[in-house]
């Protein structure tokens, strides 16, 4: 690979997605933002969309606007499902947080497998997933099997297979590992879980908008994910949940709110869940926030998930190649799968002083993430990140190490990273 800046510029010139960058707010061109997998950029159309909902619908229409809001959770759900997740209509709902949606689907899944008393999750998965599995298991007297996964290479299907038997009700796994970006074979893993008679619940937070997940085609049962990362829905944007159509009427979620109720405005005396995906709703949905999700998801759908994934692989390949060439002599080691088809759109680089390096990079106009124990995580979101952004960021990374600039930063970590 040609590792010159001119080669990066040539990649940008040939990039079929290049024009999408202008659809986002880039307030500071000198800031190299490689944290789109924590919080995506603001789409240019989002403020106007929010103003429209606020001024026209809320301000002018008042309560009468509920007629245009009532279908929003399923309409934006369908947009995400069909445009991003490979899920046919009527299977995705937007609302609540990823954690709350995980809770709802975990309990619903466990209830759907009576007589099975084990929940499986991955010991290296994102904390909220592990905590929720532990909490649900504790509340129900179930056992948790936390399977180990390689911190950089991710889940080994053989390790998972060894943990599966007729006692397992639900298996919770991330499609893209939050630290390393490792991406297992989703079809093969789903089949393994099904062979054991269990349900699989995929956390798509780092996958949605980064890689194709093809939920219908892989036979996924349940899924949840954030919309504030690659879907650019904004801080605190509501999550999405997916329930395979054939399972919907069999499953009951544990939070019996009126937004999951059949004929909601009949104000019936007892909870009677609505048919279809709407039964997974709970309370009044976040209308303004969902309007922002719609703008972000539309952009991703327009760009096309295959094209985004291809660019994500190319961008992260450039990170890896530059890390090998320029950073490895300073003790930096790749902490993600080397094979681009086995990772999402982010990579991690290990160094014993990763925390200090992260602070030094931020002060030099590069925004990565620190992740425990000693990783600098770089997430070049393909929809708005240029190859030259990656090149320039890696050059600043090299300069920090060459000048030992990171040594000047305290080793003690602050709370928010």
Ligand X SMILES: Cc1ncc(COP(=O)(O)O)c(C=O)c1O
Q: Which residues bind ligand X (CB under 6 A)?
A: 97-99, 126, 128-129, 174, 178, 203, 205-206, 226, 239
Question: Closest CB to ligand X among 261 and 290?
Answer: 290
**Whole-angstrom Cα distance, residue 112 to residue 108?**
6
- Least Å from the CB of residue 259 to ligand X: 18
- Least Å from the CB of residue 267 to ligand X: 30
Tokens, residue 195 = 């062979």
- For the chain, the distance separating the N- and C-terminal CA atoms, rounded to the nearest angstrom, is 33
Task: Please identify which of the residues 41, 244, 279, 377 carries the catalytic annotation.
Answer: 377
- Least Å from the CB of residue 97 to ligand X: 4
**Whole-angstrom Cα distance, residue 114 to residue 111?**
6
36-67 burial, b for 16+ CB within 10 Å, e for fewer? bbbbbbbbebbeebbeebeeebeeeeeeebee
Q: Is 229 a catalytic residue?
A: yes
Q: Is 228 a catalytic residue?
A: yes
**Whole-angstrom Cα distance, residue 224 to residue 207?**
11
Question: Closest CB to ligand X among 17 and 224?
Answer: 224
- Least Å from the CB of residue 181 to ligand X: 11
Q: Is 377 a catalytic residue?
A: yes
- Least Å from the CB of residue 222 to ligand X: 14
Question: Closest CB to ligand X among 294 and 369?
Answer: 369
Question: Closest CB to ligand X among 91 and 205?
Answer: 205
284-319 burial, b for 16+ CB within 10 Å, e for fewer? ebbbebbbbbbbbbbbbbebebeebbebbbbbbbbb
CA-nearest of 317, 300, 124, 342 to 210 is 300
- Residue holding tokens 């301000």? 59
Question: Closest CB to ligand X among 268 and 373?
Answer: 373
CA-nearest of 177, 187, 188 to 212 is 187
With beta carbons less than 8 A apart as the criterion, state whether 272 and 261 touch.
yes
CA-nearest of 372, 397, 368, 382 to 35 is 368
Task: Please identify which of the residues 126, 178, 259, 397 carries the catalytic annotation.
Answer: 126
Question: Closest CB to ligand X among 20 and 103?
Answer: 103
DSSP 337-354: -SSGGGB-S-EEEE-TTH
- Least Å from the CB of residue 71 to ligand X: 23
**Whole-angstrom Cα distance, residue 375 to residue 180?**
9
- Least Å from the CB of residue 283 to ligand X: 16
- Least Å from the CB of residue 100 to ligand X: 7
Q: Is 259 a catalytic residue?
A: no
**Whole-angstrom Cα distance, residue 244 to residue 86?**
12
Question: Closest CB to ligand X among 174 and 253?
Answer: 174
Task: Please identify which of the residues 145, 179, 229, 279 carries the catalytic annotation.
Answer: 229
Which residues are within 8 A (CB) of 287 and not within 5 positions of it... i.e. 6 or more apart?
53, 69, 72
Question: Closest CB to ligand X among 240 and 391?
Answer: 240
CA-nearest of 93, 48, 95 to 284 is 95
Task: Please identify which of the residues 203, 221, 369, 389 carries the catalytic annotation.
Answer: 203
Q: Which residues are part of the catalytic machinery?
A: 126, 203, 228-229, 377
């Amino acid at each position: 690979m040609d590792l010159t800046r001119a080669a990066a510029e040539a990649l940008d010139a040939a990039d079929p997605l290049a024009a999408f960058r202008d659809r986002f707010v880039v307030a500071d061109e000198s800031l190299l933002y490689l944290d789109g997998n924590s919080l995506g950029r603001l789409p240019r159309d989002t403020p106007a969309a929010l103003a429209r909902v606020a001024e026209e619908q809320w301000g002018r229409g008042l309560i009468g606007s509920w007629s245009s809001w009532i279908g929003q959770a399923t309409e934006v759900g369908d947009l995400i499902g069909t445009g991003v997740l490979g899920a046919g209509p009527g299977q995705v709902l937007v609302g609540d947080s990823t954690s709350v949606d995980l809770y709802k689907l975990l309990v619903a899944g466990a209830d759907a497998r009576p007589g099975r008393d084990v929940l499986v999750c991955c010991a290296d998965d994102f904390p909220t997933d592990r905590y929720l599995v532990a909490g649900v298991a504790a509340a129900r007297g179930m056992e948790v099997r936390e399977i180990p996964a390689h911190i950089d290479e991710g889940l080994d299907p053989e390790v998972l297979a060894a943990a599966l038997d007729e006692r397992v009700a639900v298996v919770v796994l991330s499609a893209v590992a939050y630290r390393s970006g490792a991406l297992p074979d989703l079809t093969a893993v789903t089949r393994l879980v099904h062979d054991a008679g269990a349900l699989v619940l995929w956390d798509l937070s780092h996958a949605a908008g980064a890689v194709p997940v093809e939920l219908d085609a892989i036979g996924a049962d349940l899924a949840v994910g954030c919309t504030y990362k690659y879907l650019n829905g904004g801080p605190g944007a509501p999550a999405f949940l997916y329930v395979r159509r054939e399972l919907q009427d069999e499953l009951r979620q544990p939070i019996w709110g009126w937004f999951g109720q059949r004929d909601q405005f009949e104000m019936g005396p007892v909870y009677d869940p609505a048919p279809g995906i709407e039964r997974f709703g709970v309370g009044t949905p976040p209308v303004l926030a969902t309007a922002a999700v719609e703008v972000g998801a539309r952009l991703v759908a327009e760009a096309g998930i295959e094209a985004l994934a291809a660019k994500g692989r190319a961008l992260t390949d450039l990170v890896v190649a530059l890390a090998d060439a320029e950073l490895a002599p300073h003790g930096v080691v790749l902490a993600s799968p080397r094979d681009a088809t086995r990772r999402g759109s982010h990579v991690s680089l290990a160094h014993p002083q990763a925390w200090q390096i992260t602070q030094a990079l931020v002060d030099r106009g590069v925004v990565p993430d620190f992740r425990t124990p000693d990783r600098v995580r770089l997430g070049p979101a393909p929809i708005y990140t240029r190859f030259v952004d990656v090149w320039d960021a890696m050059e600043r990374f090299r300069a920090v190490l060459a000048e030992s600039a990171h040594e000047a930063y305290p080793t003690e970590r602050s709370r928010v990273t």
